[in-house]
Amino acid sequence: MYIENISAAQLKEFVFDDRYKIIDLREFSKYQREHVIDAIHVSTEDITNGRMGHIRQRRVILYCDRGGESIRMARILAEDGYLVKNVIGGYREIKKIREIIE
């Protein structure tokens, strides 16, 4: 099982890369207010209950508020065969890079 930790600055390289699906794990209300361009919202409950069938890409990038929850979910997905990248510092760091926020 391998999880690659990336910085918010490195996330910029993947925003328009169709090989990856960016997943926002924050509360849905926070996702609705703003999120990374093209990110989708997935609840931690969906991941822990194995409800990821709707995501075709096996390469995912996860972020949460501060990075703790996303690493926990990354471990679950990596064990299920996903290639996972985790954004260190979560949205707290991502929001400093305004050009990747919508």
Structural domain boundaries, residue 39: 3-100
pLDDT in tens, the chain (102 residues): 799 999 999 999 999 999 999 999 999 999 999 999 999 999 999 999 988 777 767 899 999 999 899 999 999 999 999 999 999 999 999 999 999 999
Identify the CATH number of the domain in which residue 67 sits: 3.40.250.10
- Give this prediction's pTM: 0.93
Full 3-state SS string of 37-90: CCCEECCHHHHHCCCCCCCCCCEEEEECCCCHHHHHHHHHHHHCCCEEEEECCH
Please tell me the total count of domains within the chain.
Answer: 1
